[in-house]
Every structure is written in structure tokens, then in C-alpha cells.
Amino acid sequence: EAGVVQSPRYKIIEKKQPVAFWCNPISGHNTLYWYRQNLGQGPELLIRYENEEAVDDSQLPKDRFSAERLKGVDSTLKIQPAELGDSAVYLCASSLGAEAFFGQGTRLTVV
């Protein structure tokens, strides 16, 4: 069975440019998470979906970040415009219960 798939693996952009990340969760997993991981730290939740509904987005910087999960399957996370401080690894995970399974992440570098 395929795991969580994320793309791209790496992205380098100039500040003020937009960027988007894509995630395809494990088939049948109704919960999808987007995390941001800064160097030397644990992942921090940005947003959690239950099917197509965002049930926890309190830590998503809504002035520049947006996410969608149309049809309750794959999801896109967007940053517009990107800032230098957005450089991090963006991780997607999915779960059926408490156990979340992660993709390989997208390493974003903003220059």
C-alpha cells in the first residue's frame, strides 16, 4: 500500500513569491495534517482536516497561508507571499485513528 505522497521534495523560491505544496494521503485515511518543522525542532501543526473540513487551523498564519482539501482526499498548502522565515520542512500526514503516518516532506528554502 502506498504511503503519504508529497511533492515537490525541494523548493527554492525568492521572497514574496508564491509557493504550493501537494499531499496525497494514504487511501481511506479521513484525517489529514499539515505540519511545519524548523531545523532542530519537532513538527508543529498548521492545520488538520477531517475529510474536507478544517477542524483545527488555529496555528495557520492566515494572512499568507491557505490550504484546501477538496473532495476530502488530496490537499494543497499555499504560501503567498513567502517570507524568509517560512524556510522549513513542510510535512503532510494522514491517519484513521490516533496513529499518524507522514510523507517525506517538502524542504522549502526562501532566499
Partner 1 sequence: GQQLNQSPQSMFIQEGEDVSMNCTSSSIFNTWLWYKQDPGEGPVLLIALYKAGELTSNGRLTAQFGITRKDSFLNISASIPSDVGIYFCAGPTSGSRLTFGEGTQLTVNP
Sole binder of partner 1 in the list 56, 62, 80, 111 (CB under 8 A): 56
Which amino acid makes up residue 70? L
CA-to-CA distance for 13 and 24, rounded, in angstroms? 23
* Rounded least distance, CB 81 to partner 1, Å: 26
**21 binding partner 1? (CB under 8 A):** no
Where are the strands (E) in 1-64, listed by range?
5-7, 10-13, 19-24, 31-37, 44-50, 53-56
**99 binding partner 1? (CB under 8 A):** yes
**25 binding partner 1? (CB under 8 A):** no
Distance between start and end Cα atoms, the chain: 37
For partner 1, the binding residues (CB under 8 A) are 4, 6, 33, 41-45, 48, 55-56, 91, 93, 95, 98-105, 107
